[in-house]
C-alpha cells in the first residue's frame, strides 16, 4: 500500500496527502483480504479507527505526538488492557488483560494506533509459528512456507502490508529469524533495554521485547519511545536512551567482525554469497572487515535449550487449572482429586511443543541432573558471553547470517524438533549474551525467498546497529546478485518517493 512505512506516512499526513483514519482503514481492509495468512488472532477495528480520528485532530491542532499515525500490531504475549491475551494457547482461551504492558502504554501515549494481536507459537515456543492453538501462519512471500517463529504473525503482518510495524518478542531469535524469512527489519534490543512488565514470561533471563518493521527508521522511532528503565520491571536497565538518529548512514571507519564459526558447514550457499557481496560493499565504503573467533558458538543451541526450557518449566508452573488458566470439566467417571485436575488441565491446555519443553526443563532441574545439565549450561553461557566481550574489544559490530536456510516449508520440521531447534543456530548466542541484534533484508534467494543479514552489537549500542543496518539496506537496494534479486520495495529511494 502507499505509505507502507510510518516515516513516509507521517510526511504524507503533514503534507495533507492522507489522514491517519484513511491509512488505518486501508490496513483494516488489507487485514480482511489477507485473513487466510492467519497473521492476526484479534483485530480491534473500531478502537483503532477511534484513535486514528483523535490523532488526525491533533495533527490539525499542531500537537501530534511523535508516533501519531503509527499503525501497530502486538504479539499475543503482551498485555493490552481489556483485550484477550492467549499466548496462542488453549490454556488462556478467553482470558482478558486488566492492564497494558509498559511497552504498549508508552507507545499508546505517543500516538500509536494499536490495531490488533498477532499469532505466534504457543507461549512463544517455536521457530516456525506452527505451534499455535490457532493454526499456522503463512509466509506472505511464499504461502507454502512458514514465516518463522515465534513472532511469525508479527513478521507476516508487516511483510504483507497489514500494519506499519508490529511488536514481537525475542527469546532465542524469535524476532530476528522470522524477520529474515519474511524479508523485514527485526530488532532485538539489549536485554534490559525495554521493560518486560506485561509480557507473559517464557524464559525470564532471555525474553526481550522488540520490533518488526519495513524500515530501519521505523524501528528507531519505536525503540526511542519504548526503551528506558521501568520501576515495575527489576530487570530493566537504568541506562539513558540516546537519540536513535538514522538519517545519516555514515559507516566510514567502522570495524566489523566476521565470526568464522557462523560461516561453516550448514549455511546455504546463496545466503553466504549475499553476505559476501555486502561485505565487499562495506569495504569499499571504508569499513574495516576482520575475522574474529568465537569458539564456544558450537555449544549455543544446546546451552540455550537447556536454560530456556528450565526457565519455562518454572514460569509455566502457575498454569495448573486451579489458580490460573484452562480448567477442564470433570467427566462423570473422572476423579476429582487435585493431582488428576493438574494432569488434565496441563495435558489438555498445553500443546505438544510446550509440554516437551516443560518436561525437558523439569528434567534438567531435577535432583541428580541439576549439576550435570543446568549448572553446566550456566557456566557455558558465561563462556559465550566472554566470547562476545573479546570480540567487541577488537571490533565495533559483528555481521553474521540470521538463518542457515532461506525458508522453512510448512510441515517440514513439525515432527523433527531437533532440526527445528538447529534453525536457531545463528541467533541463540546473542540471546545468551544479552547483546542487541538487528536483521535487515539484503535481497532474494534464487528460490525467490528473502535473505536476511544479522548485525550484533555491544550492549546498549542499538544506535550503531541501526545506522549500519540502514547503510546495508541502501547497499542491497541497488545491487543485482548472481541468483539473488534485491527487494526493490525495501530501498530507501522508494520509501521516500512513496
Q: Which of 8, 150, 195, 215 is catalytic?
A: 150
Nine-digit cell string for 45? 477495528
Q: Which of 75, 128, 215, 423 is catalytic?
A: 75
* Cβ–Cβ under 8 Å, residues 20 and 13: yes
| Three-state secondary structure string covering 421-452 | HHCCCCCHHHHHHCCCEEEEEEEECCCCCEEE
Active site residue 293: no
Question: H or E segment at 212?
Answer: strand 208-213
List the one residue out of 336, 402, 375, 390 whose CA is nearest residue 187.
Answer: 402
Active site residue 25: no
Cα end-to-end distance, the chain, whole Å: 9
* Cβ–Cβ under 8 Å, residues 408 and 137: no
List the one residue out of 68, 175, 45 whose CA is nearest residue 116.
Answer: 45
DSSP class per residue in 300-359: HHHHHHHHHHHHHHHHGGG-SSSSSS--PPPPTTS---HHHHHHHHHHHHS-HHHHHHHH
Question: H or E segment at 456?
Answer: strand 450-457
* Beta-ladder partners of 199: 78
* Cβ–Cβ under 8 Å, residues 440 and 172: no
CA distance 453 to 413: 23
Active site residue 89: no
Q: Which of 174, 215, 236, 313 is catalytic?
A: 174
List the one residue out of 360, 422, 416 whose CA is nearest residue 130.
Answer: 416
* Cβ–Cβ under 8 Å, residues 433 and 385: yes
Q: What is the CA radius of gyration of the chain?
A: 22
Q: How many CA atoms lie within 13 A of 346 on its CB side?
A: 21
Catalytic residues: 75, 150, 174
Amino acid at each position: 500500500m502507499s505509505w507502507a512505512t510510518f516515516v513516509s506516512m507521517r510526511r504524507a499526513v503533514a503534507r495533507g496527502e492522507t489522514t491517519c483514519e484513511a491509512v488505518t482503514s486501508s490496513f483494516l481492509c488489507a487485514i480482511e483480504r489477507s485473513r487466510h495468512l492467519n497473521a492476526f488472532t484479534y483485530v480491534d477495528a473500531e478502537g483503532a479507527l477511534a484513535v486514528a480520528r483523535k490523532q488526525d485532530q491533533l495533527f490539525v491542532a499542531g500537537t501530534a505526538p511523535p508516533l501519531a499515525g503509527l499503525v501497530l500490531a502486538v504479539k499475543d504475549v503482551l498485555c493490552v488492557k481489556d483485550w484477550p491475551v492467549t499466548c496462542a494457547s488453549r490454556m488462556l482461551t478467553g482470558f482478558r488483560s486488566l492492564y497494558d504492558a509498559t511497552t504498549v502504554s508508552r507507545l499508546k501515549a505517543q500516538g500509536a494506533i494499536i490495531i490488533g494481536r498477532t499469532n505466534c507459537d504457543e507461549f512463544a515456543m517455536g521457530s516456525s509459528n506452527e505451534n499455535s492453538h490457532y493454526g499456522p501462519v503463512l509466509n506472505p512471500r511464499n504461502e507454502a512456507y512458514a514465516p518463522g517463529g515465534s513472532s511469525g504473525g508479527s513478521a507476516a503482518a508487516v511483510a504483507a502490508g497489514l500494519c506499519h510495524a508490529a511488536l514481537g518478542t525475542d527469546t532465542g531469535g524469535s524476532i530476528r529469524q522470522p524477520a529474515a524469512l519474511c524479508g523485514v527489519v527485526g530488532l532485538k534490543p539489549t536485554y534490559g533495554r525495554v521493560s518486560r512488565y506485561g509480557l507473559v514470561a517464557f524464559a525470564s533471563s532471555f525474553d526481550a521485547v522488540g520490533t518488526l518493521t519495513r524500515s530501519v527508521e521505523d524501528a528507531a522511532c519505536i525503540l526511542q519511545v519504548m526503551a528506558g528503565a521501568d520501576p515495575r520491571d527489576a530487570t530493566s536497565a537504568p541506562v539513558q536512551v540516546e537519540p536513535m538518529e538514522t538519517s545519516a548512514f555514515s559507516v566510514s571507519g567502522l570495524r566489523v567482525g566476521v565470526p568464522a564459526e557462523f560461516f561453516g558447514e550448514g549455511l546455504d550457499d546463496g545466503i553466504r554469497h549475499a553476505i559476501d557481496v555486502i561485505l565487499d560493499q562495506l569495504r569499499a565504503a571504508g569499513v574495516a572487515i576482520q575475522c574474529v573467533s568465537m569458539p564456544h558458538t558450537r555449544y549455543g543451541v544446546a546451552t540455550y535449550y537447556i536454560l530456556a526450557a528450565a526457565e519455562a518449566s518454572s514460569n509455566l508452573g502457575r498454569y495448573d487449572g486451579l489458580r490460573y488458566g484452562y480448567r477442564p470439566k470433570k467427566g462423570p467417571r473422572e476423579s476429582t482429586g487435585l493431582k488428576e485436575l493438574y494432569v488434565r488441565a496441563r495435558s489438555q491446555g498445553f500443546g505438544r511443543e510446550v509440554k516437551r519443553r516443560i518436561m525437558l526443563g523439569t528434567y534438567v532441574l531435577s535432583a541428580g541432573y541439576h549439576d550435570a545439565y543446568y549448572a553446566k549450561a550456566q557456566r557455558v553461557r558465561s563462556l559465550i558471553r566472554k566470547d562476545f566481550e573479546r570480540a567487541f574489544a577488537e571490533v565495533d559490530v559483528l555481521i553474521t547470517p540470521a538463518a542457515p536456510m532461506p525458508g522453512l516449508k510448512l510441515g517440514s520440521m513439525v515432527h523433527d524438533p531437533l532440526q527445528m531447534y538447529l534453525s536457531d543456530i545463528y541467533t541463540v548466542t546473542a540471546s545468551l549474551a544479552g547483546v542487541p541484534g538487528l536483521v535487515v533484508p539484503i535481497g532474494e534467494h534464487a528460490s525467490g525467498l528473502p535473505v536476511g543479514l544479522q548485525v550484533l552489537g555491544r550492549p546498549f549500542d542499538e544506535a550503531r546497529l541501526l545506522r549500519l543496518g540502514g547503510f546495508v539496506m541502501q547497499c542491497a537496494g541497488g545491487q543485482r546478485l548472481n541468483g539473488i534479486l534485491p527487494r526493490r520495495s525495501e530501498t530507501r529511494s522508494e520509501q521516500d518517493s512513496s
